[in-house]
Amino acid sequence: MPAARVDALTELFRALSDPVRLEILHLLARAETPVCVCDITRAMGLRQPTVSHHLARLRDAGLVTGERRGVWSHWRVHPDLTDAGRVALALVG
């Protein structure tokens, strides 16, 4: 397997290895529109810095993407998932 693929899969599996990140990905997979980090924080019962940390890990793995709207960021499942990302999303969605 090419080294780049090994690295990408390792990052994906690390991102998915945390229960909070799985719950966040599940929440985003079910959402019809981008979700405000404030709503994710409320739904998860966690503080904003903790949620932002988990979102950054999901973003680094290529699973989600976010955009700033004023003081808040809004997140959604990345529209251009890799094959492995689509499989992961099917499992949690």
CATH class given for the domain over 3-92: mainly alpha
pLDDT string in tens for the chain (93-residue length): 899 889 988 999 999 999 999 999 999 999 999 999 999 999 999 999 999 999 999 999 999 999 999 999 999 999 999 888 999 989 887
pLDDT at 93: 72
Alpha-carbon span 43 to 50, nearest angstrom: 13
- Tell me what pLDDT residue 91 has: 87
Whose tokens are 């599996």? That residue is 13
Indicate the pairing of strand 35-36 with strand 64-69. unpaired
- Which of these, 62, 76, 46, lies nearest to 5 by C-alpha position? 62
Task: Write down the domain spans for the chain.
Answer: 3-92
Give the model's pLDDT for residue 87: 92
pLDDT score for 66? 97
Nearest CA to 88 out of 10, 3, 25 is that of: 25
pLDDT value at residue 19: 96
CA angle at 39 for the pair 31 and 17, rounded to the nearest 5°: 70
Contacts of 76 by beta carbon, 8 Å cutoff, 6+ apart: 28, 31, 33, 34, 35, 64, 65, 66
Q: Write down the pTM of the prediction.
A: 0.91
Rounded CA-CA distance 43/87 in Å is 25
